[in-house]
Structure 1
Amino acid sequence: MKISAGILLFKRSEEHTFYFLVHPGGPFWKNKDSGAWSIPKGEAEEDESLLDPAKTEFLEETGKVVNGNFIELMPITQKAGKKVFAWALEQDLETSGLSSNMITISWPPKSGKTIQIPEVDRWEWFYSEEAKQKINPAQAGFIVQLEKILSSE
């Protein structure tokens, strides 16, 4: 089973909690919006400490290092079967000036041709309800979990 590890960054105002999500780059995702966004995450090996690869993926997809008091969330399983582990972190992050690593993909699919694309092409903060619409449906479970944790503080 494939597994991924990622970080759900959040910040709070008096009225709302906001979530930092990333939009995948490349032609397949170009015109997709609702359900296409994600927490910054990437593949990991199950036998390693998963918080370290989660931090590495955040750096690769944003160009920024995150540290602080991480809140471990229960893993979710996405529709295709990938298990995603995540940690929440309360921290503000300016979205201008972020940068993503480049990856090589086969495009068009099965053509034997490859192109270089940014792994992430957009970064945005969304308030709770909007974030739940934008994020991969299974990953919305991370927001729900975190909101339960925050409401019990």
Structure 2
Amino acid sequence: MAKQSAGILLFRRKGRGLEVLLVHPGGPFFAKKDAGHWTIPKGEYPAEEEPLQAAIREFEEETGYRPQGQFIPLHPIKQKGGKVVLCWAVSGNLDADAITSNTFTIEWPPRSGKQRVFPEIDRAAWYTLAEARQMMNERQTAFLDELAAIQDK
């Protein structure tokens, strides 16, 4: 069975129009990667956890902000590696410069015997839909299309 993640696409309306919050993965593997590597805040969850509750928990763990409101289910997508991502859109606002993320520990540099701690998410930013398409994982752009269609109604 394919791995599953659950996440939240936080959106707001500002002077530039509809904006979405994306996050950049922390740690050494993504340190020099930018466009194409941003994502919705998301994470894997155990089978016994309700996917929406997992999405809310993951969002809070990765940003320090607990989204609330009317959660709009979006169609799941499958990423290149086969992982299925479930997503809910919800209106909200947070200071992207003030996020606080949980951390993980890995041996770094490899085979050094040294353990280092890295934030799971090292930064967040608000993007217009056009900007987000350039910055995020290409498979996740389907979430933007669906959000735009819903917001245009």
CA contact (8 A) 1:3 1:46 kept: no
The DSSP-based 3-state class of the residue aligned with 1:54 is helix
| Structure 1 portions without partners, runs of 5+ | none
Give the match for residue 149 of structure 2.
148
Residues 6-29 of structure 1: per-residue CA shift (max 9 Å, x gap): 000001135521010000001110
TM-score (norm. length: structure 1): 0.92
The DSSP-based 3-state class of the residue aligned with 1:148 is helix
CA contact (8 A) 1:12 1:18 kept: yes
Structure 1's 69 and 25: CA in aligned 2 closer, same or farther, altered over 3 A?
Answer: same
Offset, 1:105? 2.7
Give the match for residue 88 of structure 2.
87
Offset, 1:113? 5.2
Give the match for residue 125 of structure 2.
124
Query: Which aligned segments of 4 or more residues in structure 1 are displaced greater than 2 angstroms?
Result: 45-48, 105-115
Q: Percent identity?
A: 47
The DSSP-based 3-state class of the residue aligned with 1:75 is strand
The DSSP-based 3-state class of the residue aligned with 1:30 is coil
For 1:78 and 1:110, locate their aligned partners in 2 and report how far apart those are by CA, in whole Å: 30
Which AA in structure 1 matches 2:45?
A
Offset, 1:72? 0.4
What is the correspondence of 1:11-22 to structure 2 with a 5 Å cutoff? Answer: 11-13=12-14, 15-22=16-23
Offset, 1:30? 0.7
For 2:88 and 2:110, locate their aligned partners in 1 and report how far apart those are by CA, in whole Å: 33
For 2:148 and 2:111, locate their aligned partners in 1 and report how far apart those are by CA, in whole Å: 41
Structure 1's 46 and 133: CA in aligned 2 closer, same or farther, altered over 3 A?
Answer: farther
How many equivalent pairs are there? 152
For 1:104 and 1:89, locate their aligned partners in 2 and report how far apart those are by CA, in whole Å: 31
Structure 1's 15 and 63: CA in aligned 2 closer, same or farther, altered over 3 A?
Answer: closer
CA contact (8 A) 1:68 1:89 kept: yes
Residues 13-64 of structure 1: per-residue CA shift (max 9 Å, x gap): 3552101000000111011111100000000134532000101101110111
For 1:86 and 1:106, locate their aligned partners in 2 and report how far apart those are by CA, in whole Å: 31
TM-score (norm. length: structure 2): 0.92
Give the match for residue 115 of structure 1.
116
Give the match for residue 99 of structure 2.
98
